[in-house]
């Protein structure tokens, strides 16, 4: 990857929540790169640290108890962690925008939707109220809401429509990076299909990069180019979607793929990963997955695995698999 093409480069990011009962290791030494115009699917189970990573990029980790302990988040070559709060405020919304999971709670219930979009535009651009409201109307049309409805309140819209409004707000200032945190989880499948279709279209139109956080491997297959699989605060596998879906290498990824019921095949019993996600206050030593892993060896409990490129552009943090593929 050529450096000028690199939009986001996260290096060794560690985020902890320091609570009374102990330290929650939400994100542990995370490395991640995202190229310009790429879309990355960020997959993992509840508590894997996906949302914390996203909030970290936005510098929105609730503090206290959250704390970014170490690492760098290079956005266009500049470290976001070194920015002042005022500088961050200029970046949020204008350069990096975020869509949250629940459209019902991320909109202001006592403000008409056009004003909510215009608010965003006026924060970052020097335009008149009138002009901002006009642009808000344009944005609504872009996401498939008729202009007549721009003076409506959020409760007058259905869930899918509300999420469209949220997308309109996020894209209003033409951001370079869009972070979507489970944007369709609260929606029904047919409405989800509508919203995903819209996001695909807009992503091309705006040529923005995107990080899509989800637990649904199906959605990633649909709209992402790259995939990162996260487990207990770390990325365990990262690669091009084609390579990763055709040939998942990390034992956790393999287990994750298998535990989803197949829409075309009959199986009597679903293969399961034994055990539960580890307690983030008390992560296992070495590879966090080793207590549940069928391939684990003695070294797995001792050393934290390094990411290795086992196939071109396909990185895996598992020494056992690396050896199997003859690349130890």
Partner 1 sequence: MDNNKPYIKVENLKKYFSTKRGLLHAVDDVSFEIKRGETLGLVGESGCGKSTLGRCLIRLLDSTSGKVLLQNPEGEGYTDVTKVSAREMKELRKRVQIVFQDPYSCLNPRLSVWELIAEPLIVNSIYDDKAAMRKRIRELMDTVGLAERLENSYPHELDGGRRQRIGIARSLALNPEFIVLDEPVSALDVCIQAQVLNLLNSLQKEFNYTYVFISHNLSVVRHVSDRIAVMYLGQIVELSEYKELFANPLHPYTQALLSAIPVAKLDVQRERIILEGDVPSPIEPPDACRFAGRCRYAQEVCHHGTPPLTEFAPGHFVACHFAGKLD
Residue from 26, 273, 293, 316 that binds partner 1 (CB under 8 A)?
273
Binding residues for partner 1 restricted to 202-231, rule: CB under 8 A: 215-222
Q: Residue 266: CA atoms inside 13 Å, Cβ hemisphere, count?
A: 1
Classify residue 23 as left (phi > 0), alpha (psi -120 to 50) or beta.
Answer: beta
Rounded Cα distance, 248 and 309, in Å: 13
- 160 part of the interface to partner 1, by CB under 8 A: yes
Residue from 188, 297, 306, 309 that binds partner 1 (CB under 8 A)?
188
Residue from 189, 298, 312, 326 that binds partner 1 (CB under 8 A)?
189
Rounded Cα distance, 143 and 139, in Å: 6
- 255 part of the interface to partner 1, by CB under 8 A: yes
Q: E strands, 194-282, where?
A: 209-214, 226-231, 234-240
Residue from 80, 94, 161, 249 that binds partner 1 (CB under 8 A)?
161
Taking the CA atoms of residue 240, residue 245, residue 249 and residue 250 in that order, the dihedral angle to the nearest 10 degrees is 90
Count the neighbouring beta carbons within 10 Å of the beta carbon of residue 78.
13
Smallest gap, in angstroms, from Cβ of residue 67 to partner 1? 25
Q: Which is nearer to partner 1, 205 or 259 (CB)?
A: 259
Smallest gap, in angstroms, from Cβ of residue 17 to partner 1? 18
Give the pairing of strands 209-214 and 6-19.
unpaired
Most distant CA atoms of the chain, gap in Å: 67
- 192 part of the interface to partner 1, by CB under 8 A: yes
Rounded Cα distance, 55 and 60, in Å: 5
Q: Which two tokens stand for residue 204?
A: 């091309």
Residue from 62, 64, 109, 261 that binds partner 1 (CB under 8 A)?
261
- 99 part of the interface to partner 1, by CB under 8 A: no
Give residue 39's Cα distance to chain centre.
10
Q: Which is nearer to partner 1, 95 or 226 (CB)?
A: 226
Nearest to 172 by CA among 129, 125, 103: 125
Instruction: Please work out the total of residues on this chain that contact partner 1, with binding judged by CB under 8 A.
Output: 45
Q: Which is nearer to partner 1, 74 or 104 (CB)?
A: 104
- 262 part of the interface to partner 1, by CB under 8 A: yes
Q: Which two tokens stand for residue 121?
A: 């535009």
Residue from 4, 21, 126, 190 that binds partner 1 (CB under 8 A)?
190
Smallest gap, in angstroms, from Cβ of residue 96 to partner 1? 26
- 127 part of the interface to partner 1, by CB under 8 A: no
Q: Which is nearer to partner 1, 92 or 164 (CB)?
A: 164
| Alpha helix segments (H runs only) across 13-92 | 50-58, 85-91
- 268 part of the interface to partner 1, by CB under 8 A: yes
Residues found near partner 1 in the complex (CB under 8 A):
45-46, 158, 160-161, 188-194, 196-197, 215-222, 241-242, 245-246, 255-257, 259-264, 266-273, 276-277
């Amino acid at each position: 990857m050529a450096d000028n093409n690199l939009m986001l480069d996260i290096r060794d990011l560690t985020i902890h929540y320091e609570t009374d009962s102990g330290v929650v290791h939400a994100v542990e030494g995370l490395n991640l790169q995202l190229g310009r115009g790429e879309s990355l699917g960020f997959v993992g189970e509840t508590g894997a640290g996906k949302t914390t990573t996203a909030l970290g990029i936005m510098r929105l980790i609730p503090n206290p108890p959250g704390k970014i302990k170490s690492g760098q988040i290079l956005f266009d070559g500049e470290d976001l962690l070194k920015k002042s709060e005022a500088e961050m405020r200029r970046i949020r919304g204008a350069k990096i925008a975020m869509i949250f999971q629940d459209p019902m709670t991320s909109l202001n219930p006592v403000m008409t939707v056009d004003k909510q979009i215009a608010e965003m535009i006026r924060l970052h651009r020097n335009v008149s109220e009138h002009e901002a409201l006009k642009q808000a109307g344009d944005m609504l049309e872009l996401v498939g809401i008729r202009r007549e409805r721009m003076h409506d309140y959020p409760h007058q819209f259905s869930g899918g429509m509300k999420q469209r409004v949220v997308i309109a707000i996020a894209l209003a200032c033409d951001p370079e990076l869009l972070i979507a945190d489970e944007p369709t989880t609260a929606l029904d499948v047919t409405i989800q299909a509508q919203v995903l279709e819209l996001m695909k279209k807009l992503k091309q139109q705006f040529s923005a990069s995107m990080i899509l956080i989800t637990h649904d491997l199906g959605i990633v297959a649909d709209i992402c180019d790259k995939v990162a699989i996260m487990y207990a605060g770390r990325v365990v596998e990262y690669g091009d979607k084609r390579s990763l879906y055709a040939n998942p290498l990390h034992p956790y990824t393999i287990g994750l793929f298998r535990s989803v019921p197949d829409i075309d095949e009959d199986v009597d019993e679903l293969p399961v990963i034994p055990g539960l996600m580890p307690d983030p206050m008390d992560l296992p030593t070495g590879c966090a997955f080793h207590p549940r892993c069928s391939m684990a060896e003695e070294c797995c409990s001792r050393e934290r695995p390094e990411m290795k490129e086992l196939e071109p552009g396909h990185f895996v943090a598992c020494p056992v698999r690396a050896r199997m593929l003859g690349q130890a």
